[in-house]
A and B are shown apart, each in its own frame.
Chain A
Amino acid sequence: MDIVTKPKLSRRILDYTLLTVLALIVLAPFLIGLWTSFLPTMQIAQGNFLSTKVSFQNYIDAFTQTPIIRYLGNSLVISTATMIAQLIFCSMSAYAFVFLKFKGRKLLFTLFLATMMLPFEAEIIPNFQTVKAMGLLNTYSVMVIPFLTSAFGVFMLRQSFMQMPIELKEAADIEGLGHFQFYWKMVLPYNRIPLMTLGAYSFLGAWNQYLWPMLTTFSNDFRPVQNGLRQLQSEETFNDWGMIQATAAIVVIPTLIVLFIGQHYFKSGVNEGAVK
């Protein structure tokens, strides 16, 4: 027995050492950022990295001297609105592709799939002109309307709707449930998990938007947090590293918490939507 366990023990120690070292490397940027967010900028500028003058001053400054709360609020509004809209519109489209029979269904679905090949980044010029003509510049709407639906979301939900047993639809037909009732009372509750996954994705996608809000917002009233942080860097606060790090920490900590809670859904979503 000893002969078997001994090499195993050394193997384990090796494994844990490797895991710990790698975890430290991966987390280093967080740890460095978090640590410096508690240091006075003067100490950072002098390279006095191991200073003990730790305080929450940078956080107080960030909250009082920068519109970081406003940025976060803006992002929250935009991301929530985008998420809700995508849940509704993507699930409706997916329903049509799975449960409705109509001419051109295949063609339309191919068209939806095709949009996944067209990068939004390559369409910013006409889109900018469009939203400008609509008078939407510098509003919340401009950051929500183009993303009310997503081909990826439709595709992913279609995959999971197709896995519903046909008999559920037949049972509903026998009882005379209409399409809307079946969609609302059966399909949506049945697919809670993929819907949550899509919700997480669309929320995070909106939260991480960068190029489009940069083009279409000019004031702190509507600027989402990604562009807000850029704004702070480009202003005179640029060299106030302590405060900058504090703002970054303020932004990243809630996302990390949400992520760890919702981790399961991200994983299943990627596997459902794409690999299957």
Chain B
Amino acid sequence: MLKSPTQSRPRTPLSVQKTKSKIEEQEAKFTLNAKDKYFAWAFLGPSLLILGVFIFYPMVRTLYLSLFLTNTVGKTTVFVGLSNYISLLTSADYLSSLGVTLFYVFAVTIITISLGLVLANLASKRLPGIGLFRTLFSATMGVSVSVAAIFWLFIFNPSTGFLSLISTFLHLPQIPWLTDPTAAMWAVIITTVWMNLGFTFLILLGAMTSVPTTLYEAANIEGASSRFQFFHITIPSISPTLFFVSIITLIESFKSFGLIDLMTKGGPTNATNMLVYRIYKDAFYSGNFAQASAESIILTVIIALFTLLQFKVLEKRVNY
């Protein structure tokens, strides 16, 4: 009666099918249990409480404080509206902090990503013993901020440091690494890049090794140079990851505090006085809580914008 096991079945139009099964899927996660609501509050309660007290409330409170003048213990005195913001955004001092921070953030991001790409591209080759190099390149991931600061403070130390020894040995001019404004900025940038490098390398390597090898095989058959392959196959293939690490690096750099506190304390002459360090100084040294709150809000806006950008791009990627 039946001819062969191959099945022939009419198909509903694809679009209709798709939407239906999607709804089906969403619905299927749920059961009849009406008590879900109570479980939900029990399961979410602790996290909500913590986020409420330590993330949401302080954000509102910071916004509130930023609209007042405060006394030295942080109590509000006079409502001043936006004038904290206006005075900040018209103060050369603050604008220079903002400029310094932007320079630092973009320098760190560009250098970290470029070096990360170089290391990852080299380490993505299938060579015997490459695993050892991969491990070595990712080593700086295990370095915490204070350890990095100690290592590099010694390297940059003006009298006994490693770089000064090298300069003496090679009869090169001494660079006053931590006392010259420009050099101090670069010292902090170099240290940050070094700290970030392990993580960035590892993520980029992961992306590169998952690019299908057939793409490179096809390119090799066409005789494309390795340089051409890097820019026309590798980079486009890993672009989502590249974007992701760039934004993460950017955001983390905006929040830099530890290295600055450990290496330069914002100096010399405010050359490395970046946004978070400033907030800390203004609030906990000068007791100017209102102004520090306004600075916090500005920082939040900057970071929120970059985070939103990240979400938007990731969302796009999820959909396609």
Contact = CB atoms under 8 A, between A and B. Distances in A.
Interface of A: 12, 15-16, 18-19, 22-23, 26-27, 29-30, 32-33, 36, 44-47, 49, 89-90, 92-93, 95-96, 98-103, 105, 108, 111-113, 115-130, 145-146, 148-149, 151, 154, 166, 169-170, 173, 179-180, 183, 207-208, 210-211, 214-215, 225-230, 233, 241, 244-245, 247-248, 251-252, 255-256, 258-260, 263, 266-267, 270-271, 274-276
11 contacts: A19-B127, A19-B133, A22-B118, A29-B148, A119-B300, A125-B58, A126-B62, A146-B54, A151-B51, A230-B146, A255-B142
B46 A207 contact: no
Contacts of A274: 244, 248, 314
Contacts of A113: 311
Nearest to A166: B28
Interface string B297-320: 101100110011001001001100
B160 A130 contact: no
A126 B279 CA distance: 13
Contact-residue size bin, chain B (C-beta under 8 Å from the other chain): 35 or more
Contacts of A125: 58, 61-62, 65, 74, 279, 283, 289, 292-293, 296
B203 A148 contact: no
B47 A154 contact: yes
Given A117-B303, A229-B149, A263-B138, 16 more contacts: A16-B127, A19-B133, A29-B148, A32-B155, A96-B44, A111-B51, A112-B51, A149-B51, A183-B43, A208-B144, A226-B145, A252-B142, A252-B147, A256-B142, A259-B142, A263-B135
Interface string B144-169: 11111111111101011010010010
B69 interface: no
Contacts of A230: 146, 261-262
B2 interface: no
Nearest to A129: B74
B123 interface: yes
A92 B143 contact: no
Contacts of B307: 116-117
Contact of A103 (B37, B39, B53, B140): B37
B46 to A, nearest CB: 5
B230 interface: no
B136 interface: yes
Contact of A149 (B41, B47, B308, B311): B47
Interface in B210-243: 240-241
B183 interface: no
A45 B159 CA distance: 8
A89 B49 CA distance: 11
Contacts of B140: 26
B50 interface: yes
Contacts of B36: 100-102, 179
A67 to B, nearest CB: 14
B186 interface: no
A23 B280 contact: no
B59 interface: yes
B123 A19 contact: yes
Nearest to B298: A122
